[in-house]
Amino acid sequence: MSKDYYKILGVDKSASAEELKRAFHKLAHQHHPDKAGGNEAKFKEANEAYQVLSNKEKRAQYDQFGQTFSGAGSNGGGSRSGFGGFNPGQNGAQFDFGDLGDMFGSFGDMFGFGSGGGRQSGGADIEAVLELNFLEAAFGVEKELRLRKAVNCNRCSGTGAEPGAKIDTCSTCRGSGRVTKIQRTILGNVQMAAVCDDCLGRGRKASKNCSECGGEGIKNDVTSLSIKIPAGVGDGESIKFVGQGQAGPHGTPAGDLYLRVRVRADKRWSRSGNDIKTKLEITYSEAVLGTKKGVETIDGEVILKIPEATVSGQVIAIRGRGIPRLRSNGRGDHLVEVVIKVPGKLSRDQRKILEELAKEGL
Binding residues: 153, 156, 170, 173, 196, 199, 210, 213
- From start to end of 32-171, where are the E strands? 126-132, 141-152, 167-169
User: How many residues in the chain?
Assistant: 362
| CA nearest to 327, candidates 258, 269, 270, 274 | 274
**What span, in angstroms and rounded, lies between the C-alpha atoms of 206 and 191?**
29
Parallel, antiparallel, or unpaired for β 167-169 and 204-206?
Answer: antiparallel
The DSSP secondary-structure symbol of 343 reads: P
- Residue 326 to residues 144, 236, 258, 270, 335, Cα–Cα distance (Å): 21, 14, 17, 17, 19
Residue 291: strand, helix, or coil: strand
Residue 341: strand, helix, or coil: coil
| CA nearest to 52, candidates 40, 64, 41 | 64
- From start to end of the chain, where are the E strands? 126-132, 141-152, 167-169, 178-185, 188-195, 204-206, 218-229, 238-241, 257-263, 270-272, 275-282, 291-297, 300-306, 315-318, 334-340
**What span, in angstroms and rounded, lies between the C-alpha atoms of 258 and 241?**
6
Sign of CA dihedral 3, 7, 13, 19: negative
**What span, in angstroms and rounded, lies between the C-alpha atoms of 298 and 322?**
8
**What span, in angstroms and rounded, lies between the C-alpha atoms of 98 and 51?**
9
Q: Environment class of residue 265 by beta-carbon count within 10 Å: exposed (0-12), middle (13-18) or buried (19+)?
A: exposed
- Do 259 and 128 form a contact (C-beta atoms < 8 A)? yes
| CA nearest to 109, candidates 30, 35, 22, 23 | 35
Residue 337: strand, helix, or coil: strand
Q: Which residues are annotated as a binding site for Zn(2+)?
A: 153, 156, 170, 173, 196, 199, 210, 213
Q: How far is CA 313 from the centre of its chain?
A: 39
Identity (one letter) of the amino acid at 328? Answer: S
